């Protein structure tokens, strides 16, 4: 219940999963009861949920983990969040995140990190670390995050839960603060594939307010696994994994074989360039999307400054953290004339190659499989000093966003490190619009 969720949020406050609590939650829970009493049928009646702090909920603060949006109150509600509420869910709080969803550890939040409940000296992954920990620490059964390059799947893997990055366009992005619009998707976290299904059944579908959203109803009923499922193991993701990740992958393949699947290796050679292409596409989009934080329309206006360029400069200097500044610089550079052909335009060609390689692989295979991350949760500070080491954490996830296809991370094992058991996630990837197939396979593996 909403009351229990709020109590649990208090209990595990030291984990830093939530940036704010919805003061209206209790009152909204009572309204849901009244709707039930009036005979409405609500698939998520009274279910407490948490949403990432880049999702707008009318009348609540939305910071995106950034100082520049401190004090901003949303004037409207994101479509996915509205649909959850229409189905009877109650948002109990907003989740911590890397600033503007840029990061893989939630260490880039301006409001402090979120801790991994499995080992509090380790990161929960990112950028949706707060949404993942809200589920993994038992505050709520389901939460929403956003996945531009792995930000739902990787924190799901690091915290031992389920996370889905839907097909691009399957969930409306209206009301999701944009990071890289051609890659961003809202995705759910849960403790089972069935719960992911339930949430997708509610939030997916066309929305006139997002012209990239697709007209394609979600089949919330999970059909049983079909025999002779053809599973392709991505060869490029087989090297460089820690022993526990390797063991979890082998264990998953054995389980799939037992279920009657045909398993073979498949090569997607351009995946080698996925991280480079991703950062050359995501940062230009970010530099353009973040131009609106100018201290005028959005963001704190510096006091006493009357000259416009100085006002914008000061607002951004004070409001943005170092990673966001790095991304804006990188993105602006990649788009500038003289460099455009060498970087942005080449990255777009790599993107197309990757999409083609996925499409070719799906001629032979029903699903593809790889680890979600080459390693389990790492320690605070272990990667935050070196941007390239942090970007390397996205090795297994970013290609999926470049191709626009759906992927799911499910908990399939543990790795022992320093006497602690750390969860390991395995990633399943399906062709566009076959999100339901991922849930079916994940259910069979439960």
Site map for ligand GLN, 260-299, x if CB under 6 A? ----------------------x-----------------
> CA torsion sign, 294 to 284 to 112 to 203?
positive
Q: Does 394 bind ligand GLN (CB under 6 A)?
A: yes
**Is residue 52 among the annotated active site residues?**
yes
Active site residue 287: no
Q: Please identify, using beta-carbon distances, which residue of 128 and 443 lies nearer to ligand GLN.
A: 128
CB of 33 to ligand GLN, least distance (A): 36
Tell which one of 47, 64, 102, 429 touches ligand GLN (CB under 6 A). 102
Q: Nearest to ligand GLN by Cβ — which residue?
A: 151
Beta-bridge partner residues of 48: 90
Does residue 101 belong to the site contacting ligand GLN (CB under 6 A)?
yes
d(CA 344, CA 355): 17
Q: Which candidate, 183, 234, 117, places its Cα nearest to that of 404?
A: 183
Contacts with ligand GLN: how many residues (CB under 6 A)?
Answer: 14
Nearer to ligand GLN, 103 or 163 (CB): 103
> How far apart (Å, rounded) are the C-alpha atoms in residues 228 and 183?
32
> Is 127 annotated in the active site?
yes
CB of 98 to ligand GLN, least distance (A): 7
Q: Give the closest residue to 168 by CA, choosing from 151, 153, 186, 152.
A: 186
Burial class of residue 285, CB neighbours in 10 A (0-12, 13-18, 19+): buried
Q: Which is nearer to ligand GLN, 293 or 391 (CB)?
A: 391
367-371, strands of its sheet edge to edge: 18-21, 90-95, 48-52, 142-147, 185-190, 162-165, 407-417, 420-429, 367-371, 230-234, 262-266
In the three-class reduction of DSSP (H, G, I as helix; E, B as strand; rest coil), residue 390 is classed as helix
User: Quick one: 149 or 411, whose CB is closer to ligand GLN?
Assistant: 149
Q: Is 98 left (phi over 0), alpha (psi -120 to 50) or beta?
A: beta
Binding status of residue 127 toward ligand GLN by CB under 6 A = yes
Cis, peptide link before residue 414, omega less than 30° from 0: no
CB of 117 to ligand GLN, least distance (A): 21
Which of residues 16, 65, 103, 188 is near ligand GLN by CB under 6 A?
A: 103
Token pair belonging to 132:
């993942």
Backbone angles phi, psi at 410, to 5 degrees: -130, 145
Q: What track of x and - describes contact with ligand GLN for positions 138 through 167 (by CB under 6 A)?
A: --------xxxxxx----------------
Q: How far is the CB of 391 from ligand GLN (least distance, A)?
A: 7
Q: Is 49 helix (H, G, I), strand (E, B) or coil?
A: strand
> Could you say whether residue 104 binds ligand GLN (CB under 6 A)?
yes
CB of 102 to ligand GLN, least distance (A): 5
Pick 109 or 443: Cβ nearer ligand GLN = 109
| CA 263 distance to own-chain centroid | 28
Report the catalytic residues. Answer: 52, 127, 151
Q: Which residues bind ligand GLN (CB under 6 A)?
A: 101-104, 127, 146-151, 179, 282, 394
């Amino acid at each position: 219940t909403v009351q229990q969720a709020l109590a649990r949020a208090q209990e595990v406050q030291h984990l830093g999963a939530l940036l704010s609590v919805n003061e209206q939650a209790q009152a909204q829970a009572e309204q849901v009861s009244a709707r039930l009493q009036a005979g409405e049928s609500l698939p998520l009646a009274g279910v407490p949920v948490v949403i990432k702090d880049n999702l707008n909920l009318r009348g609540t603060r939305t910071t995106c983990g950034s100082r520049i949006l401190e004090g901003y109150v949303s004037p409207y509600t994101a479509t996915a969040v509205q649909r959850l509420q229409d189905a009877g869910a109650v948002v109990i709080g907003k989740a911590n995140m890397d600033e503007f969803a840029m990061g893989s550890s939630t260490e880039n939040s301006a409001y402090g990190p979120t801790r991994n409940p499995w080992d509090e000296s380790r990161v929960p992954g990112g950028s949706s670390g707060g949404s993942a920990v809200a589920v993994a620490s038992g505050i709520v059964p389901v939460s929403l995050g956003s996945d531009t390059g792995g930000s739902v799947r990787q924190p799901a893997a690091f915290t031992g839960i389920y996370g889905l990055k839907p097909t691009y366009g399957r969930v409306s992005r209206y009301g999701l603060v944009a990071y890289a619009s051609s890659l961003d998707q809202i995705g759910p976290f849960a403790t089972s594939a069935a719960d992911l299904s339930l949430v997708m059944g509610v939030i997916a579908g066309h929305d006139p307010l997002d012209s990239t959203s697709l007209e394609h109803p979600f089949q919330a009923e999970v059909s049983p696994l079909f025999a002779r499922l053809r599973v392709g193991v991505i060869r490029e993701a087989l090297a460089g994994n820690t022993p526990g990740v390797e063991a979890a992958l082998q264990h998953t393949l054995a389980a799939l074989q037992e279920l009657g699947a045909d398993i073979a290796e498949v090569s997607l050679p351009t995946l080698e360039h996925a991280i480079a292409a991703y950062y050359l596409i995501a940062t230009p989009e970010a530099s353009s999307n973040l131009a609106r934080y100018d201290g005028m329309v959005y963001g704190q206006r510096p006091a006493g400054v009357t000259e416009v360029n100085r006002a914008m400069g000061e607002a951004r200097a004070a409001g943005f953290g170092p990673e966001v500044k790095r991304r804006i610089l990188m993105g602006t550079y990649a788009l500038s004339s003289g460099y455009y052909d060498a970087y942005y335009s080449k990255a777009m060609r790599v993107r197309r190659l990757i999409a083609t390689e996925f499409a070719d692989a799906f001629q032979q295979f029903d699903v593809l499989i790889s680890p979600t991350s080459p390693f389990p949760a790492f320690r605070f500070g272990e990667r935050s000093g070196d941007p390239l080491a942090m970007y390397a954490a996205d090795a297994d996830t970013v290609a999926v966003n470049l191709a626009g296809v759906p992927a799911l991370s499910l908990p399939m094992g543990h790795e022992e490190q320093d006497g602690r058991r750390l969860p390991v996630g395995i990633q399943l990837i399906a062709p566009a619009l076959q999100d339901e197939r991922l849930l079916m396979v994940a259910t069979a593996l439960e």
